[in-house]
Amino acid sequence: MSATLCENCQRQQQPPATGPGWTVHHGAAQMMLQRIEAASVAAIISDPPYASGAGTLLGALAKSSTKYQNSESKKLPELDGDSMLPEAWSAMMLSVAHQMRRVAMPGADVLMFCDWRSLSRLIEVLGGAGFQLRGTATWNKGNAARPNRNGFRSQTELILHARAPGKLARPKDVYLPGVFEYRTIQKGKLHMTQKPLELMRELVELAPPGATILDPFQGAATTGVAAIESGREYIGCESSAEYHAIAVERLQNRA
């Protein structure tokens, strides 16, 4: 594919990086998903930026390194899209969700991480783009998560499940748990909000074997590693140049 100019930033778009069973695009998902063939992905499993924080607008606008503080975060690049006002976040997500709807096969599953603050907005975004809402699962991060004075420990994140209208051919039915128990990664992180690989290994099982899984907000491509390891095909997208490079290296070395 020859390099063309991005309609938004007027910079040259690069062709995707590829390897056996995977293709990853560097750029904003709103633009990059336009490169993907319609009705071609069987599942979209993603962990978008939450753009929430501390329950205040000022907290939401803080840099990601302020929100996700631990000794590891200081060494890692900032995430894109995590310091936005809720309205701007919803507009960005809706534009990505319309592209997701276009590339989803009939009956394709969508699993999207969120927290309690972004849940209602994400429901509106996925519903507004034409997906049918199916429910939520909980990621229980355990007792090491941050305690809150006179309140609940920040111990859980949610996974919102939606589905494109229609029916996906499945060789066998899959029954996933409603609660996933995995500690957050403490050491050797490649991304500030990296998800545990074991958790993603469970989620990719929702896609039929051999099918294509898309992650529009791939970060360090944890979804990608889980997808490829399990014999599925993978398409990823990341807007940050640093995280795109980290994802490509990780997919090449598969760790």
Ligand X SMILES: C[S@@+](CC[C@H](N)C(=O)[O-])C[C@H]1O[C@@H](n2cnc3c(N)ncnc32)[C@H](O)[C@@H]1O
Smallest distance, ligand X to C-beta of residue 73, A: 13
CB of 166 to ligand X, least distance (A): 26
Q: Quick one: 133 or 185, whose CB is closer to ligand X?
A: 185
- Decide if residue 157 touches ligand X (CB under 6 A): no
Stretch that binds ligand X, among 16-24, 129-137, 202-210, 238-246 (CB under 6 A): 238-246
Per CB under 6 A, contacts with ligand X among 175-214 are 191, 193-195
Length of the chain: 255
> Quick one: which of 62, 64, 60, 38 has its CA closest to 51?
60
Window contacting ligand X (CB under 6 A); options: 76-84, 100-108, 142-150, 159-167? 76-84
Q: Does 109 bind ligand X (CB under 6 A)?
A: no
**What residues from 8 to 37 belong to the interface with ligand X (CB under 6 A)?**
28-30
Q: Exactly one of 16, 47, 60, 168 binds ligand X (CB under 6 A); which one?
A: 47
Provide CB contacts within 8 A for 185, sequence distance 6+.
194, 196
Binding string to ligand X for residues 113 to 152, with x set by CB under 6 A, is what? ----------------------------------------
Q: What whole-number distance in Å separates Cα of residue 60 and Cα of residue 153?
A: 19
Nearer to ligand X, 28 or 105 (CB): 28
Q: Total number of residues binding ligand X (CB under 6 A)?
A: 23
Strands 156-163, 104-114: pairing is antiparallel
Of all residues in this chain, which one has the CB nearest to ligand X in the complex? 219
Specify the residue, 59 or 166, whose C-beta has the smaller distance to ligand X.
Answer: 59
Footprint of ligand X on this chain (CB under 6 A)? 28-30, 47-49, 79-81, 92, 191, 193-195, 217, 219-220, 222, 237-240, 243
